[in-house]
Chains A and B, each alone.
Chain A
């Protein structure tokens, strides 16, 4: 249950958010690692956008994503057609299990025993490594952060920087223990050691699996953003490349990618541009020197098409997975990514995961926010995350008559006691006479006010009622 859990996400109980949060809050190492990392990322993002008209660029990004989503079914058909023309085989997966089986079937058909993986959050969502291992196929992560997390037997704690919860010392110890490298705080040495370990695996892998940042419908191009070159190796060295992506990642044209790229890299890591930008348009042609013999794309739904049915929730699908909302979230900074117990942590996780796992499981997620709005403020494609959190809170207690409930498990968080308290609160505040009587009495008998108020007075003194309400003061003045 802690950040050092040696468990597959299969065994993490999402509902246990509270105890995990408490443990993280009391873990100075976790607090320090996240605070330092997030402070750095916030500063870098800010300076990366200096000199840009950020609001205009965000509007552009939001519009590109909205336009793509408005035409999603047509774009997906166009994408499939273009990819097929380019020689890429397209597969459709309804859910994670389906997607895993498609990957397995491709591996089995090639008699593949080893898979090398580039970074892909959808594959985390599918728990692909776990699945392949059960099928006797080894899957090795080649992104440095993912590699570290895999060595530790953990899941990523951030969608862009999977091992951000560990500092150099912890990584050094882990690599020493698992791979026999020397204990060292020299980042260069550790990186080179990991690179050498991975290089050999690349040469011998039967299949490369990667994610997709943008799938361009017009040209049938799969775009992959990365810094380490491992994505490029994964997609070119093994004889077979399987890309996996959520169905929402499609954009109409290549021009759309330029604006989204400018927003993605700056929002994520504060980089103006990444070291590598791969554009994959098909398998190796007869006259080409390198590249895989076959390329597949697995389009994963896994609950996305049900979000697509709702005009508000649809906005969740705009996400370009930059992680800026996590970097700026005061809650994420305090508790770290593993506390959430979900594939996607932080603000985007709180609005995306309830769709993937239902509100029975994820009912605590939307409440774990002070609604400060920092996530919505930095989102490069202007997803109204705070509004969606409120919408999901509503679904989790009500499934309001005005909005037919759309999320599985709606009403899971409604408790009889809590509902009654709100009913009573509503009754009194909807009746001015009752309200004035109640508040006047509270002021009159303020000495009887309880000194302890649940979680509030655990950290603070109780608020002090004034001797006269503003209503009374104004009444005395003749109003």
Chain B
């Protein structure tokens, strides 16, 4: 679970960026936003082209040999001792919390543990390592936030999103009832147990809509895909964004694709 004490590194000159497969294929804007926020803080971002997926889908489904093969392919991507930043609490949690267990009693055990110790959820890194200061250039707006369960409980960053959004002077952040409850994504859970997952996401969407906010932001693309997809299918006037895209747009004064 959450580290009782987190020791943040000093602000580095370079970081490795681990994009995650969902960001890569479905939300590359969120990845670019994260990269540009880091660059604006004066940090050089290294994106290893050989990265694929952290292995979590197979890991949580119980296929550990398959997960290990994929995770092993990631272990060689970060040779220097720079921090590894991940725009997802879920994939970050997999690398930080579960790699050591996955490689226990193998020849990669030390390597996995070493890498795990360098993994940071990106919003946490921006706030507590970069000490980012956000200057809001956007119009007044109201948003709700959904913190993913792994960001909240595995990476311990539940307070980070609201703190970052709190720096934006024209953004009114509203909290939905049962904010800490799961949206029902859970990876393959959404497909294995569609009825239960559907019931969870419908209540989550209702809770957010009830705040009056038309927009929400989230730390994880899985939750985004789930909540947004439900809202769209059921014609709710609610649309979501990865928190990094939102932060970039508000502070860069541009909407749309980052360069």
Contacts and interface: CB of A to CB of B under 8 A. Distances in A.
B153 interface: yes
Nearest to A436: B49
A360 to B, nearest CB: 16
B189 A473 contact: no
A108 interface: no
Interface stretch (B111-119, B138-146, B163-171, B176-184): B176-184
Contact of B70 (A413, A426, A453): A426
B65 A398 contact: yes
Nearest to B259: A477
A314 B65 CA distance: 23
B52 interface: yes
Interface of A is mostly: helix
Interface of B: 1, 4, 19, 21, 23-29, 31-32, 35, 46-47, 49-53, 55, 57-67, 69-70, 72-73, 101, 104-106, 149-150, 152-154, 180-182, 184-202, 225-226, 229-230, 232-233
Contact of B195 (A25, A369, A398): A25
Interface in A191-205: none
Interface size class of A (residues with CB under 8 A): 35 or more
B63 A419 contact: yes
A445 interface: no
Given A377-B1, A429-B70, A458-B198, A470 B229 contact: no
A210 interface: no
25 contacts: A334-B196, A334-B199, A367-B193, A368-B193, A371-B189, A372-B149, A372-B181, A372-B186, A373-B1, A377-B1, A390-B59, A397-B61, A400-B65, A423-B66, A426-B63, A429-B53, A429-B73, A436-B49, A443-B25, A458-B194, A459-B197, A459-B202, A460-B233, A470-B19, A474-B47
Interface of A: 18, 21-22, 25, 31, 55, 330-331, 334-335, 366-374, 376-377, 382, 384, 387, 390, 392-398, 400-402, 413, 419, 422-423, 425-426, 428-432, 435-436, 439, 442-443, 453-466, 468-471, 473-475, 479
Nearest to A397: B62
B91 to A, nearest CB: 13
Contacts of A368: 192-193, 196
Contact of A470 (B24, B63, B69, B181): B24
Given A402-B104, A471-B19, 15 more contacts: A25-B195, A370-B182, A370-B200, A371-B149, A376-B1, A392-B62, A394-B64, A426-B58, A426-B65, A426-B66, A429-B55, A429-B73, A431-B73, A456-B191, A463-B225
A327 to B, nearest CB: 12
Contacts of A394: 62-64
A459 B236 CA distance: 13
Contacts of A464: 26
Contacts of B31: 470, 473
A402 B64 contact: yes
Given A372-B149, A459-B233, A393 B26 contact: no
B150 A398 contact: no
B24 A390 contact: no
A466 B62 contact: no
Contact of A465 (B26, B106, B229): B26
4 A-B pairs with the lowest CB-CB distances in the bound complex, closest first: A370-B186, A455-B194, A460-B229, A393-B62
Of A387, A419, A454, A469, most B-chain CB atoms within 10 Å: A469
A442 B28 CA distance: 14
A95 B193 CA distance: 33
Given A390-B60, A422-B58, A374 B193 contact: no
Given A335-B196, A419-B63, A373 B149 contact: yes
A417 to B, nearest CB: 13
B51 A466 contact: no
Of A330, A431, A469, most B-chain CB atoms within 10 Å: A330
Contacts of B50: 432
Contacts of B26: 463-466
